[in-house]
Structure 1
Amino acid sequence: MTTRIPLFIGLVLAGIPDVLAIIFCIMGVVRARKIGGKGMSLAVVGLVLGSLAFISIFFGAGTIW
C-alpha cells in the first residue's frame, strides 16, 4: 500500500532543514571569500545540494512510501 505524504508535512520535515542548509552555506561562501577562498568549494557544493533538496520537495521526491 502506498500513501502520499502531504506537502505541508514535507515542508516541515524537509523544508526547514533545507532552508537552514542554504542559509549556512551562504554564510560559508561569504566567510570563505573573506579568508581568501579556503573552503569555498565545500560551501558551494552544500549550497547546490541544499537548493536541489529544497526544490525536490515541490516535485514530489520522497512523497510516496
Structure 2
Amino acid sequence: MGALVSFERVFEILDLRPAIAEKPDARPLGTEASVEFDNVWFAYPHGQEVSLASLESVTVPEHHAGGRC
C-alpha cells in the first residue's frame, strides 16, 4: 500500500505548476540568436533549506480536464 501512496504523490508533484512561466507575449528566438554567460554560477540548496512543503507553497497544482496528463 505504501508504494501506491508514493506513486500517487509523484503525480501530485508532477502536476505542480512551475514557479517560473513564460510571458504570455513571449516570442520564439530566431535561428540567429545567441546567448553568452559570463561569471555565472549555480548551486543546489542544502536539504535542510528545501522540502516538498516549501516547494508547494510557491506553486499551484494544474487542473486538467479529464484528469491527469
Bin the TM-score by the shorter chain: under 0.3
Scaled by the length of structure 1, the TM-score of the pair is: 0.27
The TM-score, its normalising length taken from structure 2, stands at: 0.26
Larger radius of gyration: 2
| Larger RCO, structure (CA 8 Å, separation 6 or more) | 2
